[in-house]
């Protein structure tokens, strides 16, 4: 039988020789005696001999004026300024009055669609967003701002709303709901 060698295989002696040469070459840089590295020792001595760089000066502390808060007699800024106690003698919503059906809808969502009757007995027909038509007479309430109907005409409904004035009181504001154009 003939065997054919296809690759080079170093013998164990050649491999040991290569490893020994590699370790000898590396060991010269690793192990050194004090006499072999004078440049390194010189450089370390120079760095240690240099003076340390100066530190930045501390920032100057500013003196602040003292302030004494003396507002014990004033209104508490965290209390509710819009309570019912501070308002004065102007108009106020009647908290005991039972709310009517049309007061659950915003005034701008209500449409006047017609009238019934003539003269002083005119009744307005108002369609709400729930697609139900309601009868409205003077004295009725509609809208979410305590709007009281003051007059009903063939082309409009006039009412007065109560809105907060921002200082604990209430203001009367006139409003109108006009007949819807067909």
Under the banding of pLDDT at 50, 70 and 90, the label for residue 93 is: confident
Q: What is the DSSP letter of 138?
A: T
Does this model's pTM top 0.75?
Answer: no
Per-residue confidence (pLDDT) for residue 182, from 0 to 100: 55
What would the pLDDT profile of 146-174 be if each residue is shown by its tens digit?
Answer: 999 999 998 899 999 998 888 778 889 99
Token code pair at residue 40: 């390194």
Cα(146)–Cα(160) distance, integer angstroms: 8
Closest CA to 125 of 157, 148, 164, 163: 157
Reference 121, options 142, 137, 140, 141; nearest CA is 137
Report CA-CA distances (Å) from 80 to 85, 87, 103, 155.
11, 13, 26, 42
Contact 126, 118 (CB under 8 A): no
């Amino acid at each position: 039988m003939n065997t054919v060698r296809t690759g080079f295989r170093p013998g164990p002696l050649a491999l040991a020789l290569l490893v020994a040469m590699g370790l000898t070459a590396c060991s010269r840089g690793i192990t050194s005696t004090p006499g072999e590295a004078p440049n390194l020792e010189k450089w370390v001595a120079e760095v240690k001999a240099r003076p340390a760089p100066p530190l930045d000066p501390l920032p100057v502390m500013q003196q602040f004026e003292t302030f004494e808060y003396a507002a014990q007699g004033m209104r508490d800024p965290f209390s509710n300024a819009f309570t019912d106690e501070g308002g004065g003698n102007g108009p106020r919503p009647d908290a005991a009055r039972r709310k009517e059906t049309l007061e659950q809808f915003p005034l701008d969502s209500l449409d006047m669609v017609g009238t019934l009757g003539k003269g002083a007995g005119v009744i307005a027909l108002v369609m709400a967003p729930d697609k139900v038509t309601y009868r409205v007479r003077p004295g009725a309430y509609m809208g979410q701002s305590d709007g009281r109907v003051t007059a009903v005409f063939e082309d409009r409904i006039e009412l007065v709303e109560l809105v907060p004035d921002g200082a604990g009181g209430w203001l009367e504001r006139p409003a109108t709901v006009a007949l819807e154009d067909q």
